[in-house]
Amino acid sequence: MAQENLSIGTYEFKTHCTSILKEVENGSVYTITRHGAPIALITPIVTKKSSQQNAVSELLKLRDEVIQKGSGVSQEVIKDWITQGQR
């Protein structure tokens, strides 16, 4: 996900802090400025959970691509791969 860096002054940040932090939770990045000069950067923390969610999301996209294009591999072969992976 591409993160857009938004700039906000200290007064506006103080006034809208809660809503800005909710946006940061959803991936937004903010540069806090004082008199136009950047003084702080607020970014979301990448947690293990969000990394896992990203991995699951990417696997689901890959699954959808394979379903659309066809894998060319029989279900028997796939089951065999799964069985081998469980050893």
Domain ranges for the chain: 5-42, 48-85
Q: What is the pLDDT of residue 30?
A: 96
Name the residue among 19, 66, 70 with its Cα closest to residue 42: 19
Non-local CB neighbours of 44 within 8 Å, separated by 6+ positions: 24, 25, 26, 27, 28, 29, 50
When the candidates are 3.40.50.1460, 3.40.50.300, 1.10.640.10, 3.40.1620.10, the CATH number that belongs to 5-42 is: 3.40.1620.10
pLDDT digits (tens, 9 = 90+) for 20-79: 999 998 889 999 999 999 999 999 987 777 778 888 888 888 888 877 777 677 788 888
